[in-house]
A and B are shown apart, each in its own frame.
Chain A
Amino acid sequence: SQQGEEDPQALSIQEGENATMNCSYKTSINNLQWYRQNSGRGLVHLILIRSNEREKHSGRLRVTLDTSKKSSSLLITASRAADTASYFCARTGGYNKLIFGAGTRLAVHP
């Protein structure tokens, strides 16, 4: 499959805890992106990390990239109930296409 692999498939945590999701891929990349999808809605772009970057922050989000291991992780710190969603990594697949992973379902309990 061309898709990236995310793990875990599902994650359940309490409010205030940190959530870490991982993404692995098989081919070289120019950049890797993370998207969020609230239940029954479209995807929203969260953050993009270029292949020459190792870490990037945006608010409570921290993304790391290890091109030698072909993997990335998304860390959400001090999670909130509103962070409950599915999270997808995506890499460029040529012709401006993106290839999405299967996603991680995050549930944050109050």
Chain B
Amino acid sequence: DVKVTQSSRYLVKRTGEKVFLECVQDMDHENMFWYRQDPGLGLRLIYFSYDVKMKEKGDIPEGYSVSREKKERFSLILESASTNQTSMYLCASSASRGSLDIQYFGAGTRLSVL
């Protein structure tokens, strides 16, 4: 079974802090994604990566950056956390070939910025 692991289930940070959210997948998937989920807004794509060291902006990249130094790991970085970044963050991965774009999700990280 595919396993996508997010490093923290809950995080509380202060405004202005630098925040790292880590995601690791164990299925050698090429594609990895970061979403945020807010009530009434569904899932919104922040960034995605289709290969090591490659990244593409999603729909709401402002205030975020990402890093993919190894195939299995995709990190989301909040350079200076703000209260409007309080949200549920979901990481997902998918294979490039023959996958029909089925994504596998981690359990999510609920981030509170105070």
Contact = CB atoms under 8 A, between A and B. Distances in A.
Interface of A: 3, 30-31, 33, 40-45, 48, 50, 88, 90, 92, 95-98, 100-103
Interface of B: 4, 31, 33, 40-43, 45, 48, 50, 56, 58, 88, 90, 92, 94, 96, 99-108, 110
A33 B102 contact: yes
Nearest to B6: A42
Contacts of A31: 100-101
Contacts of B31: 96
A100 B33 CA distance: 13
Given A40-B108, A41-B107, A42-B108, A98 B42 contact: no
A102 B42 contact: yes
Contacts of B90: 42-43
A44 B2 CA distance: 11
A42 B106 contact: yes
Contacts of B56: 95
Nearest to A94: B101
